[in-house]
Every structure is written in structure tokens, then in C-alpha cells.
């Protein structure tokens, strides 16, 4: 199972980078909402990472006011953190305890958290691509199969 999560993490890193590049390439055509969703994807990655690491995630807003460069820099931090987490935790079959943004406590298995992080990002990357296309800019293919086909 860990190998699958490592592959999904690599896809997340690749997708975040490609989406940031597509937003930069769109220049003045980039919709503000698209940048906001990109920032949200990355901020959520950081919040969930802090929960996985047993830190409080509430200090990180999930809809930060980041520009593309700030979101891309935060993405690099998130990816490095997930890589470190995966290296340090051979056993992913644990449950973590954390509080959501309203303070409600939850107990969730690590595989479920990781699956959520990867799927959440994919969902919003699709929205960003739709916004790019609607603004006349070129969307970017971030499909998993495209990722695995690249050398």
C-alpha cells in the first residue's frame, strides 16, 4: 500500500507544479478564482500534513490570499513534508486524532487521510483547468495516466 501512496504523492507534486506553471503562463488571462483554488489545494495539503504529524493545523487558513508564486513555494514545502512523513513512517496503518477547523475531534486512519488529500487536490485542479479554459487560457493535463506515461 505504501508504494501506491508514494506514487500518488509524486503525482500530487507533479500536478501542483504543472498547475502553477499553467497559471503563470496564462498571464493576465488567469482568473483570480483559479489562483485562489490553487492556493486552497496547497493550503489544505499543509493542514493535513500538520495533522498527520500531530501538530495543530488550525493556524493555516485553508483559503489563503497567496499569489501563484507563494502557492508554488508552499507546495514545495508541503511535498517535502509529505516525503519526509512517508520516509519516517513505515507503518501507515495507524489512526490519527486531530481537530478540524471548528474544533471537532476526529479519529481517521492514515490511508484515508492520504486518499483524501490526493483526491481533494484532483477535484480542485479540475476546477482550475475549467476556469483557465473559460478565460481563454490553456488548461494543463494533470491526469494520473499522463503522469505515469512520462519518462
Q: Write out pLDDT tens, residues 124-149.
A: 999 999 999 999 999 999 999 999 99
What is the pLDDT of the chain when averaged over all its residues?
Answer: 94
Percent of the chain's residues with pLDDT above 70:
98
Confidence at residue 57, expressed as pLDDT on a 0 to 100 scale = 58
CATH number for the domain that contains residue 55: 1.20.120.450
- What cell does 48 get? 493535513
Euclidean distance between CA atoms 1 and 106, whole angstroms: 23
* Per-residue pLDDT reduced to its tens digit, 16-61: 999 999 999 999 989 999 999 999 999 999 999 999 999 875 577 8
Average pLDDT over residues 58-77: 92
Whole-angstrom Cα distance, residue 46 to residue 43?
5
7: left (phi over 0), alpha (psi -120 to 50) or beta: alpha
The residue range of the domain holding 97 is 2-149
Cα distances (angstroms) measured from residue 24 to each of 21, 66, 80: 5, 13, 22
Per-residue confidence (pLDDT) for residue 58, from 0 to 100:
57
User: Count of domains in the chain?
Assistant: 1
Amino acid at each position: 500500500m505504501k508504494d501506491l501512496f508514494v506514487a500518488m504523492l509524486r503525482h500530487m507534486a507533479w500536478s501542483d507544479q504543472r498547475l502553477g506553471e499553467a497559471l503563470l503562463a496564462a498571464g493576465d488571462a488567469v482568473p483570480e478564482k483559479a489562483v485562489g483554488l490553487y492556493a486552497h489545494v496547497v493550503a489544505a495539503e499543509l493542514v493535513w500534513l500538520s495533522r498527520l504529524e500531530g501538530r495543530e493545523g488550525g493556524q493555516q487558513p485553508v483559503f489563503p490570499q497567496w499569489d501563484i508564486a507563494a502557492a508554488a513555494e508552499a507546495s514545495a514545502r508541503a511535498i517535502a513534508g509529505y516525503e519526509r512523513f512517508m520516509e519516517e513512517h513505515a507503518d501507515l496503518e495507524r489512526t490519527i486524532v486531530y481537530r478540524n477547523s471548528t474544533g471537532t475531534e476526529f479519529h481517521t486512519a492514515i490511508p484515508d487521510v492520504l486518499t483524501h488529500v490526493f483526491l481533494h487536490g484532483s477535484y480542485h485542479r479540475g476546477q482550475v483547468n475549467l476556469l483557465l479554459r473559460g478565460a481563454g487560457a490553456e488548461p494543463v493535463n494533470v491526469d494520473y495516466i499522463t503522469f505515469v506515461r512520462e519518462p
